[in-house]
């Protein structure tokens, strides 16, 4: 693969890969490391995809797997440093977007992942199932529970 094609792929998918990694890890440095590993995997694999959707799905599946690998690793289990969300330099157009994002980030990983893939990346339940390796019914249940938790979190914030 030539460097022009690599640059095109990176430019097209780097934001989606980073957002997925950050949503999973809640840590800017780890998300950047994972993004780098994902693209190294992509460029070292000689895979030809039928269309852009399949390529993006493959990249996000690798991202989720690398995030899971990180959480299983001893390095992460005993790491005491983490960058707080406030230092992540995220910019939101409205306060509501910021509140929703922080509420999503406060969810457990399994809920955060499906919410991110469904709403931010606009994947269907079937596609999320393929990316995460979970059954479609499990994804539906996780989405339902995540929405309920978000409603509870955001409802409490609005009553303050």
Tell me the per-residue pLDDT of 107-127, one tens digit each, with 9 for 90 and over: 998 899 899 889 888 889 998
Smallest CA-to-CA distance from 21 within 86, 78, 80, 88 is with: 88
**Which regions of the chain does DSSP assign to beta strands (E)?**
none
DSSP state of 116: I
CA–CA distance, 24 with 139 (Å, rounded to integer): 16
Say if residues 76 and 123 touch (Cβ distance below 8 Å): no
pLDDT in tens, the chain (160 residues): 788 989 999 999 999 999 999 988 888 889 999 999 999 999 998 788 888 888 999 999 999 999 888 877 755 555 544 445 444 445 667 878 778 888 888 899 889 989 988 988 888 999 888 888 889 999 999 999 999 999 998 887 655 4
Per-residue pLDDT tens over the stretch 58-76: 999 999 999 888 877 755 5
Question: Domain segments of the chain: what residues?
Answer: 1-90, 92-160
Query: At 73, which helix (H) or strand (E)?
Result: none
| CATH number, domain 1-90 | 1.10.1740
Could you give the angle at which helices 52-72 and 3-25 cross, rounded to 10 degrees? 50
Confidence (pLDDT) at 21: 92
Confidence (pLDDT) at 137: 95
Question: Which fold, 92-160?
Answer: Arc Repressor Mutant, subunit A (1.10.10)
Say if residues 20 and 64 touch (Cβ distance below 8 Å): yes
Structure tokens at 117: 């893939």
Confidence (pLDDT) at 88: 47
Full-model pTM = 0.62
Query: At 6, which helix (H) or strand (E)?
Result: helix 3-25
């Amino acid at each position: 693969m030539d460097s022009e094609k690599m640059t095109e792929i990176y430019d097209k998918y780097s934001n989606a890969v980073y957002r997925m990694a950050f949503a999973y890890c809640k840590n800017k440095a780890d998300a950047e490391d994972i993004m780098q590993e994902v693209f190294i995997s992509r460029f070292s694999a000689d895979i030809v995809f039928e269309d852009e959707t399949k390529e993006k799905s493959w990249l996000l599946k690798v991202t989720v797997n690398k995030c899971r690998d990180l959480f299983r690793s001893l390095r992460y289990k005993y790491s005491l440093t983490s960058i707080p969300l406030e230092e992540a330099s995220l910019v939101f157009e409205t306060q509501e977007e910021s509140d929703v994002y922080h509420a999503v980030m406060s969810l457990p990983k399994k809920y955060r992942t499906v919410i991110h893939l469904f709403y931010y990346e606009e994947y269907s339940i079937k596609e999320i199932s393929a990316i995460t390796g979970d059954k479609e019914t499990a994804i539906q249940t996780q989405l339902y529970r995540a929405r309920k938790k978000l409603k509870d979190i955001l409802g409490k914030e609005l009553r303050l």
